């Protein structure tokens, strides 16, 4: 495994700078085949920053001050032009222009701004508020709160994901051990599905047929059939955090085992376990699906898994306590 370190030497000669660049590119050769111009965005909770890295070389591109406390979750608009970040400590969203990498707005949303999702049409960002009795809805065009989804009482710090057609939202409640099914047009809860203890992360498969999520409180993940709303649970290991569904595989970060579990989506069986860094949390695939970017919460770094090789190919330092990861293509 290659470890990349950030080097800052303003007085370096052109020759030395060129040599360093060549070394970095050589060290990342295992990541280069098929690599596109991915940019990796990482939320650093204890640094209150967002790191931006080149997805192919892991060279740092920027460190953005979030202008809030405890930066936790990230989402990109479908056109890739804006990034929204939650700040749990200040109850705000930070909005970044991805072209300039500059903060363009800070939006107050409510207590414990935990997780966010953007509607498939890119018009709204929905915000899960751990300390409120509703989901806040933010207009992407106006950058203001324009509505809410009543929940009855605070559901604790869960996550949100939309169906591909944008008609349904799924929000997890660690407090109740349920997934709330929300009618997007009506902005109303239509069902509550029991899934296990402490459900946190959730993701709808790209075909819309299944909803996968993690039960951090009981070392399992769950799968909801979108049509029947039946639930299956799968034991995976200690502290499942985030997951990503990529084709016929599901990758789950296990914060209590320093591993990523790899499951076959059809059989729902674990195929292998990949050792990673300390307390893996967020995970996101590259645009071509050949790499997985993993935030190591206690390692304060980002790892890159070579999917074909089934191992971590390189790591790079980011901020303190990295949580969420997303990938864009400029």
Contacts of 69 (CB under 8 A, 6+ apart): 48, 87, 88, 89, 90
Q: How far apart are the first and last CA of the chain?
A: 27
Contacts of 21 (CB under 8 A, 6+ apart): none
pLDDT of residue 1: 53
Burial-class residue 127 by CB neighbours within 10 Å (0-12, 13-18, 19+): buried
Tokens representing residue 178 in the block: 């349920």
pTM of the model: 0.89
Q: Which residue bears the tokens 């944008």? A: 166
Give the C-alpha separation, 38 to 54, whole Å: 6
Question: For residue 118, what are the CA distances in angstroms to 30, 165, 199, 205, 289?
Answer: 33, 12, 20, 15, 21
> Quick count: other Cβ atoms within 10 Å of Cβ 70?
21
Strand 311-317 to 2-3 pairing: parallel
Domains of the chain are 240-329 (2.40.10.480)
Tokens representing residue 225 in the block: 């059939």
Give the C-alpha separation, 129 to 44, whole Å: 19
Tokens representing residue 215 in the block: 């039960």
pLDDT by residue, tens only, the chain of 330 residues: 544 444 333 333 334 333 333 333 334 433 443 445 799 999 999 999 999 999 999 999 999 999 999 999 999 999 999 999 999 999 999 999 999 999 999 999 999 999 999 999 999 999 999 889 999 999 999 999 999 999 988 877 799 999 999 999 999 999 999 999 999 999 999 999 999 999 999 999 999 999 999 999 999 999 999 999 999 999 999 999 999 999 999 999 999 999 999 999 999 999 999 999 999 999 999 999 999 999 999 999 999 999 999 999 999 999 999 999 999 987
The enclosing H or E element of 243 equals: strand 240-246
Whether 283 and 243 have beta carbons less than 8 Å apart is answered as yes
pLDDT of residue 131: 86
Strand-pairing partners, residue 133, are: none
């Amino acid at each position: 495994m290659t470890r990349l370190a950030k080097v800052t030497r303003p007085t370096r000669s052109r020759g030395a700078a060129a040599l360093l660049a060549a070394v970095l590119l050589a060290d990342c050769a295992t990541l280069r085949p098929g690599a596109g111009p991915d940019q990796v965005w990482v939320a650093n909770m204890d640094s209150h920053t967002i790191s931006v890295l080149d997805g192919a070389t892991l060279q740092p591109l920027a460190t953005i001050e979030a202008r809030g406390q405890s930066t936790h979750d990230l989402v990109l608009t479908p056109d890739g032009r804006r990034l929204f970040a939650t700040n749990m400590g200040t109850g705000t969203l930070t909005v970044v222009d991805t072209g300039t990498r500059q903060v363009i707005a800070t939006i107050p949303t409510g207590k414990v701004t935990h997780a966010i999702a953007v509607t498939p049409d890119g018009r709204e960002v929905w915000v899960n508020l751990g300390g409120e009795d509703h989901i806040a809805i933010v207009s992407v065009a106006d950058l203001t709160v324009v509505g809410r989804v009543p929940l009855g009482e605070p559901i604790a710090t869960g996550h949100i994901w939309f169906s591909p057609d944008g008609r349904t939202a799924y929000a997890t409640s660690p407090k109740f051990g349920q997934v709330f099914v929300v009618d997007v047009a009506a902005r109303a809860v239509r069902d509550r599905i029991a899934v296990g203890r402490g459900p946190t992360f959730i993701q709808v498969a790209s075909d819309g047929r299944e909803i996968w999520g993690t039960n951090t409180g009981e070392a399992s993940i769950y799968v909801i059939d979108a049509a029947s709303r039946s639930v299956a649970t799968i034991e995976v290991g200690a502290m499942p955090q985030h997951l990503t569904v990529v084709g016929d595989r599901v990758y789950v970060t296990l914060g209590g085992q320093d591993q990523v579990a790899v499951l076959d989506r059809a059989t729902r069986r674990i195929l292998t376990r990949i050792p990673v860094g300390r307390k893996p949390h967020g995970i996101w695939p590259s645009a071509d699906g050949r790499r997985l970017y993993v935030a190591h919460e206690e390692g304060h770094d980002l790892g890159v898994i070579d999917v074909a090789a089934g191992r971590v190919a390189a790591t790079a330092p980011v901020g303190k306590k990295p949580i969420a990861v997303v990938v864009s293509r400029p």
